[in-house]
């Protein structure tokens, strides 16, 4: 079985990435063989298309509502359940895997297409391409085109398999607004050792970049009546934080996990700003407050906290409910907090509640009632014994987010990186206003907090009568209440994309649909049942309209006669 060609083609237009993986495989044997197409794609992406071509026939993937796809599949495949084609394979990736029987001397071409909106984290966008052909490929290339009308501020490529020979296979061409990256190693360059036929290409190929920004109310782009508005102010002073770290020290945290947690907390303490206030609560079946109130992050208090962190040891049960309620009451009782400051609770746990209140719904209700929209709750789940679904719902219901921390050598770094993302709030209560009578289908446009290094994205449809799209942003900064205004000339903005050769035309509409679906699904996690149904119905309709494989849809793939007739591709989620 020879992989004759493997091409990865990525077009990034204004952060929206459209990637096609095309693989041509030949059966050189003199009998039929099973051929497997196995690729990995980012968890944040939605598959939009898949096809197999063999002997002049194309077998396309068709996207349907999940339950009806499953029903069709069950009817077709009476002999037991086939495995799904997509599964999560790591922190950032999921794997698509399909096998097909190919006759002697025949060829098959696989093509998989997926799309995602690149998310700005810690000041950069990242396009991740996973490469693992497992054999030498005659025609191998990764071809990335980036077009950013705002201008490209910096661009770098990185891979986990660099050699001097492979560096020669990489070319980069960059202008003010465009970049073209081509990675095209020959068969010899792919070899780990000239004597052996093993491919060194195994790992991540990453493109990182950021765009230029003026000091205005962000940047607006318009194509075919859909707009997208990017807002990422920079060089603004940080708002003071009031942060409580709620740390699980139950028995299951013993050993390496608690060591890594201590290491991470010691580093995080060094990153607190003088204006920040902080405290620690540790819990097993008992809840222990380091101090009964928040302390300012003076060198003395930070040193004293470091001493406390070094004594945290693990044993006993897990009372998440009481630990979080204690944290809320510390914030409730706090006096003389700066009027413009951001209060947050960061929970780190590796398991489920075993002491005190252990019913998840009750804990969620208690915490939501206590927090009451005043503070942001971030939930970090350490390892795979946590109920991620529970943590995610609790965080999203309380203005924060959840993140899984993987039990690896770098768990302390993962914790520090998460803290870095929320370490520098620079705006609060952000409202993005657009003319009501001229804009519909608006994505989320009110945000509690904006952190340095991230980006706010709002998208919607504009009525065709509009010549100018006015925007107003209201927000609170460290110093004052801000009002920023901007006007986009619709015709001029449309022009920017008119003559760009490597743009897929309706990218703003697909970006709008992608963002809307992501937000509807996120909102449905913390919604009541009735509301949940409405949100999911909307997300399903958009998923089908724009052919995205989301948690609500499945792709049905038919196979040639005489083989298991049908396969299903579903979208796995972190919560399982």
- Could you write out the three-class secondary structure of 399-415? CCCEEEECCCCCHHHHH
Q: What is the dihedral of CA 318, 321, 326, 332, to 10 degrees?
A: 160
Residue of 45, 73, 60 lying closest to 110 (CA atoms) = 60
Average of per-residue pLDDT values in the chain: 92
pLDDT band at 505 (very low <50, low <70, confident <90, very high): low
Q: Which of 320-324, 336-340, 497-501 has the lowest mean pLDDT?
A: 497-501
Residue of 326, 284, 281 lying closest to 305 (CA atoms) = 281
- The full set of domain ranges for the chain reads 222-234+432-546, 241-423
The pLDDT value given to residue 112: 96
**Is 500's pLDDT higher than 70?**
no
Q: What is the DSSP letter of 295?
A: E
Mean per-residue pLDDT, 321-348: 94
CA angle 66, 69, 75 (to 5 degrees): 140
With residue 364 as reference, give the H or E element that holds it.
helix 360-371
Q: Which two tokens stand for residue 251?
A: 């028995």
Q: pLDDT (tens digit, 9 = 90+) per residue, 517-554? A: 999 999 999 898 999 999 999 999 999 999 999 999 99
Alpha-carbon radius of gyration of the chain: 26
* Fold assignment, 241-423: Rossmann fold (3.40.50)
Q: pLDDT (tens digit, 9 = 90+) per residue, 188-238? A: 999 888 888 888 899 999 999 999 998 678 999 999 899 999 999 988 999
**Is 341's pLDDT higher than 90?**
yes
Mean per-residue pLDDT, 236-246: 95
Q: Which two tokens stand for residue 11?
A: 């077009």
Q: Which two tokens stand for residue 270?
A: 């060094």
Mean per-residue pLDDT, 177-186: 96
The pLDDT value given to residue 576: 65
Q: How far is residue 509 from each of residues 150, 461, 467, 514, measured CA to CA in Å?
A: 19, 8, 19, 9
Q: pLDDT (tens digit, 9 = 90+) per residue, 80-101? A: 455 568 888 888 999 999 988 8
Per the CB < 8 A criterion, the answer to whether 510 and 547 are in contact is no
Q: What is the DSSP letter of 192?
A: S
H helix runs in 127-237, sequence order: 164-168, 187-190
Residue of 163, 206, 195, 214 lying closest to 12 (CA atoms) = 206
Distance CA 137, CA 6 (A): 7
With residue 26 as reference, give the H or E element that holds it.
strand 16-26
Per the CB < 8 A criterion, the answer to whether 242 and 320 are in contact is no
| pTM for the whole structure | 0.94
pLDDT band at 503 (very low <50, low <70, confident <90, very high): low
**Is 336's pLDDT higher than 60?**
yes
CA angle 339, 340, 341 (to 5 degrees): 100
Q: List residues bridging with 86 in a β-sheet.
A: 96
Q: Which two tokens stand for residue 448?
A: 């509690």
Q: Percent of the chain having pLDDT more than 90? A: 77
Q: How far is residue 524 from each of residues 106, 397, 549, measured CA to CA in Å?
A: 47, 10, 17
Per the CB < 8 A criterion, the answer to whether 412 and 406 are in contact is no
The pLDDT value given to residue 75: 79
Residue 538 CB contacts under 8 Å (≥ 6 apart), including other chains: 516, 520
Distance CA 460, CA 245 (A): 38
Q: Percent of the chain having pLDDT more than 70? A: 96
**Is 77's pLDDT higher than 90?**
no
């Amino acid at each position: 079985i020879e992989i004759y060609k493997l091409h990865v083609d990525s077009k990034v237009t204004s952060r929206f990435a459209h990637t096609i993986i095309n693989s041509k495989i030949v059966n050189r044997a003199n009998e039929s063989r099973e051929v497997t197409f196995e690729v990995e794609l980012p968890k944040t992406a939605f598959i939009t298309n898949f096809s197999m071509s063999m002997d002049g026939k194309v077998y396309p993937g068709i996207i349907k509502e999940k339950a009806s796809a499953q029903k069709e599949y069950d009817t077709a495949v009476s002999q037991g359940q086939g495995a799904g084609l997509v599964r999560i394979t790591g922190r950032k990736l999921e794997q698509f895997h399909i096998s097909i029987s190919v006759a002697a001397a025949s060829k098959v071409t696989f093509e998989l297409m997926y799309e995602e909106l690149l998310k700005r984290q810690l000041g950069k966008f990242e396009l991740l391409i996973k490469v693992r052909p497992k054999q030498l490929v005659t025609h191998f290339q990764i071809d990335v085109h980036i077009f950013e009308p705002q201008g490209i501020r910096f661009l770098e490529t990185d891979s986990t398999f660099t050699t001097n020979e492979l560096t020669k296979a990489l070319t980069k061409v960059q202008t003010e607004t465009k970049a073209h990256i081509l990675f095209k190693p020959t068969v010899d360059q792919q070899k780990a050792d000239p004597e052996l036929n093993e491919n060194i290409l195994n790992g991540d190929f990453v493109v990182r970049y950021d765009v230029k920004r003026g000091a205005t109310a962000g940047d607006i782009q318009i194509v075919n009546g859909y707009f997208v508005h990017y807002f990422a102010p920079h060089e603004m002073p940080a708002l003071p934080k009031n942060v409580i770290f709620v740390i699980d020290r139950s028995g299951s945290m013993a050993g390496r996990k608690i060591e890594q947690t201590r290491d991470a907390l010691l580093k995080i303490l060094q990153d607190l700003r003088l204006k920040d206030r902080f405290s620690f609560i540790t819990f097993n079946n008992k809840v222990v407050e380091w101090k009964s109130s928040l302390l300012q992050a003076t060198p003395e208090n930070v040193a004293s906290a470091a001493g406390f962190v070094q004594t945290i040891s693990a044993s006993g049960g897990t009372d998440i409910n009481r630990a979080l309620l204690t944290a809320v009451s510390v914030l409730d009782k706090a006096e003389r907090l700066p009027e413009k400051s951001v209060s947050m609770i960061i929970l780190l746990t590796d398991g489920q509640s075993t002491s005190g209140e252990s019913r998840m719904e009750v804990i969620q209700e208690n915490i939501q009632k206590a927090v009451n929209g005043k503070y942001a709750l971030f939930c970090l789940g350490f390892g795979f014994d946590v109920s991620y679904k529970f943590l995610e719902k609790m965080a999203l219901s309380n203005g924060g987010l959840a993140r899984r921390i993987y039990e690896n050598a770098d768990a302390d770094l993962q914790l520090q990186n998460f803290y870095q993302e929320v370490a520098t709030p620079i705006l609060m209560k952000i409202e993005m206003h657009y003319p009501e009578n001229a804009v519909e289908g608006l994505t989320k446009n009110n945000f509690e907090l904006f952190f340095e290094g991230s980006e706010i994205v709002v998208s919607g449809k504009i009525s065709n009568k509009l010549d100018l799209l006015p925007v107003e942003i209201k927000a609170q900064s460290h110093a004052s209440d801000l009002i920023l205004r901007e006007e986009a000339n619709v015709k001029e903005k449309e022009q920017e994309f008119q003559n760009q050769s490597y743009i897929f035309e309706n990218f703003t509409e697909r970006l709008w649909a992608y963002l809307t679906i992501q937000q509807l699904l996120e909102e449905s996690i913390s919604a009541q049942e009735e509301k949940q149904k409405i949100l999911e119905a909307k997300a399903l309709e958009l998923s089908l309209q724009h052919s995205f494989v989301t948690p609500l849809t499945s792709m049905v793939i038919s196979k040639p006669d005489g083989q298991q007739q049908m396969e299903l591709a579903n979208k796995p989620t972190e919560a399982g």
